[in-house]
Chains A and B, each alone.
Chain A
Amino acid sequence: MLLSIEKMAKSMKVDLPDLITRPTGRRFYENAIKKLVNVSADETVLCDFSGVEVIDPSFVDEFIVKLIKFSKTGEKPFFIRLKNFSHMVEDNIRSVFQSYCEFSNKKFSVITEDITIDNSHVIGIISEVERDIVEIIRINGTMSSIALSEYLHREKPETELILEEMYSDRLIKKDNSRFTIV
Chain B
Amino acid sequence: MEEQEGVLTLPDKLNDIYSFDSIIALEKKIYSSNIRALDMGTISFVEPYSMTNLLLIARRYLKNTGNRLQLIHIPLPIHQYLLRMNFFSFPLFETPIALDAKKQLSRSAFSRRVLEITEIPSVERESVRVISQSVATFRKRGSFILKHWFSPDTVNYFVTVISEICQNVFEHSMDSGFLALQTYTYNRENVIRLVIADSGIGIEESFSKEQKEQYGTGAELIKNALTSPISGKREFGYGLCRVNSIIKEMKGNLFIRSQKSSVAFVYNKGYSEGAYSFLKNDLEQFNGTQISISLYG
Contact = CB atoms under 8 A, between A and B. Distances in A.
Given A54-B160, A88-B156, A95-B245, A22 B236 contact: no
A58 interface: yes
A144 interface: no
Interface string A16-57: 011011111000000000000000000000000000011011
Given A54-B156, A56-B164, A88-B153, A20 B236 contact: no
A180 interface: no
B132 A96 contact: no
Given A95-B242, A99-B229, A87 B159 contact: no
A70 interface: no
A100 B231 CA distance: 12
A21 B238 contact: no
A166 B171 CA distance: 36
A23 B136 contact: no
Given A20-B132, A57-B160, A103 B167 contact: no
B200 to A, nearest CB: 18
B228 interface: yes
Contact of B236 (A17, A61, A91): A61
Given A57-B242, A100-B229, A103-B228, A21 B236 contact: no
Contact of A96 (B159, B167, B238): B238
Contacts of A75: none
Interface string A90-129: 0110011001101110000000000000000000000000
B117 interface: no
A15 interface: yes
A86 interface: yes
B135 to A, nearest CB: 5
A21 B163 contact: yes
A21 B167 contact: yes
Contacts of A104: 235-236
B125 interface: yes
Interface in B215-240: 228-230, 235-236, 238-239
Interface of A: 15, 17-18, 20-24, 53-54, 56-58, 60-61, 86-88, 91-92, 95-96, 99-100, 102-104
* A-B CB proximity, top 9 nearest: A57-B238, A20-B163, A88-B156, A99-B229, A56-B163, A57-B242, A54-B159, A21-B128, A54-B156
Given A18-B135, A24-B128, A95-B241, 13 more contacts: A17-B139, A18-B159, A18-B163, A21-B167, A23-B124, A56-B160, A57-B164, A57-B239, A57-B241, A60-B238, A88-B160, A100-B238, A104-B236
